[in-house]
Amino acid sequence: MKISKFKLIMAAGILISSSGTMAQDMNFFATSAGSGQGGNLGGLAGADARCQALAYVAGAGDQTWKAYLSTQGMNAVNARDRIGSGPWYNANGTMIASNLNELHDEEENMLNLRTALDEHGNPVPYVGLGLDGNPLPRELQTDVEHDMLTGSQADGTAYPAGEDSTCNNWTSSDEGSAMVGHSDRLGLQPGLSPWATSHPSAGCSQQALINTGGAGRYYCFAID
């Protein structure tokens, strides 16, 4: 049931994305690139500011944008508490979730390689699929950037203090690690891979993020 729904949504996404039109009510996007500083995003404030700047360039700067990122330790912040209550639509006007519970339900949210678009309506470079619909072998995968920084558990909450899951609360471009999700919801094995919590990064440098299938991208949501 879950996989068939996923395929149906992807098919719908293909039809919608082919129109090439920008929706006026976009309130969700995946950043079109990383910061270039690995996991150092300037903390939550820096990440939010970049969401706002990217939205402005795309014609959606009149809304207040927040990054889907958690922090750890004293005064930890949950990503899910930062992004409003929904519903959320991508640049092509496709709804990805109607509320927080649906967004964090792997069977119900509509995020996939066709709908997790950047602010310009372009797909994030995703895991390549063979004719059978299954992921191609690792050696045939190129330019994949589906790792999205989140620092979050599957329900959008922060990890406990201890093992670093947030590149030192988004200030490190060297030591530490970050939890990432897969924007295409695909891994190298058949089946779905979570959009918010898939695996830790190999480190916090830009090259470490690239090595594990990312570029330092993250999700942005408008809260008004």
The ranges assigned to domains in the chain are 2-12+26-126+137-222
Q: Residue 130: exposed, middle, or buried by beta-carbon count in 10 A (0-12, 13-18, 19+)?
A: exposed
Count Cβ neighbours within 10 Å for each residue of 196-207 and write b for 16 or more, e otherwise.
Answer: bbbbbbbbbbbe
CATH 3.40.50.2300 for domain 2-12+26-126+137-222: no
SS3 138: helix
- 166 beta partners: 178
> What does the pLDDT profile of the chain (224 residues) look like in tens digits?
344 344 334 433 433 333 344 455 899 999 999 889 999 999 999 999 999 999 999 999 999 999 999 999 999 999 999 999 999 999 999 999 999 999 999 899 999 999 999 999 999 997 777 777 777 777 766 788 899 999 999 999 999 999 999 999 999 999 999 999 999 998 766 667 899 999 999 999 999 999 989 999 999 999 98
pLDDT for 24 equals 58
pLDDT for 135 equals 74
Q: Give the separation between CA 135 and CA 74, rounded to whole angstroms.
A: 40
Supply the pTM of this predicted model. 0.87
- Structure tokens, 2: 């879950």
